[in-house]
Amino acid sequence: MSEELELDVDKLLGQLENYASKGLDALGSAKQEIAELEARNAQLNERVAQLETNLASLGARLTQALENPLEADLLSRSDSLMVMIKETLGVSKPGEAQKSIPSAASELDKLNPQQRLQHWIKTYPRAFMPGQPQPLKIGIHEELLAVEGGDMKKIRRALASYVKVPRYLRCMKTGAVRLDLKGNNAGFVTQEEAEFASEHLQKLEDSKKQRDLLKKQQDKERQENLKASRLQNKLSALVEMNKR
């Protein structure tokens, strides 16, 4: 009877050692995958930093070029590409008049971006429709400034929370109608704008996939560690029983 027990214990110990070996192998594989993801994330961060540097350089060059009256007249162009460039770089034509500031502007400026966006959703329901968004008029920030006044930076920040999300980017299709604050037709999305939105959407989705994958790998690693710990506890218990 004792020999049979010893054989059963040896067999069980062998199985546990096999499970532990497989667990360690899986743990090593998970760590390697996480390391690869971290390296890829570092590469993406470097590319983002380089793009931001290039954008800042372009903005500085454009601002410097505005000192030349002939080149400054470029900002008078009304085509959508030039408007988008001005909005992106945050530049304006020299001597451009400041907008008047309504008395309610100071109260609106106290709101955080999400609160201000909620204010727009209630005030301009035909333009701001988060459930089923439609492209907004190019220069909508200037229209908001003219109507409400306040700090342009805060207006842009609140707008970003609306136009830089996947649902809005997906509505940016070539030919889609743009809306002003009253919900009236204010132009159409060009192919260039649609492609720009599509590229930005792809970056957001890629970033989300990487975060989800990293979380999945971390969860897997925690489960493997827990499993290995349980196996080790069982192994220790069997060893103690065998000693008795």
> How many structural domains compose the chain?
2
Nearest to 106 by CA among 148, 162, 158: 148
In a domain, 199, yes or no: no
In a domain, 200, yes or no: no
In a domain, 231, yes or no: yes
Find the domain containing 144 and state its range.
100-189
pTM here is: 0.46
Report the C-alpha gap between 80 and 193 in whole angstroms.
9
In a domain, 176, yes or no: yes
Report the C-alpha gap between 136 and 116 in whole angstroms.
16
Q: Say whether both 114 and 167 belong to one domain.
A: yes
Report the C-alpha gap between 34 and 28 in whole angstroms.
10
Half-sphere exposure of 65 (CA within 13 A, CB side): 14
- In DSSP notation, 129-141 reads -TTS--PBPTTHH
CA dihedral 83, 87, 91, 95 (to 10 degrees): 60
Q: Say whether both 106 and 185 belong to one domain.
A: yes
**pLDDT by residue, tens only, the chain of 244 residues:** 555 656 566 676 677 677 667 767 777 776 787 778 787 777 877 776 777 677 666 666 665 655 554 445 555 554 555 555 555 555 555 444 444 444 577 889 999 999 999 999 999 999 999 999 999 999 999 999 999 999 999 999 999 999 999 999 999 999 999 999 999 999 999 999 999 999 999 998 887 777 777 777 777 777 877 777 777 777 777 767 776 6
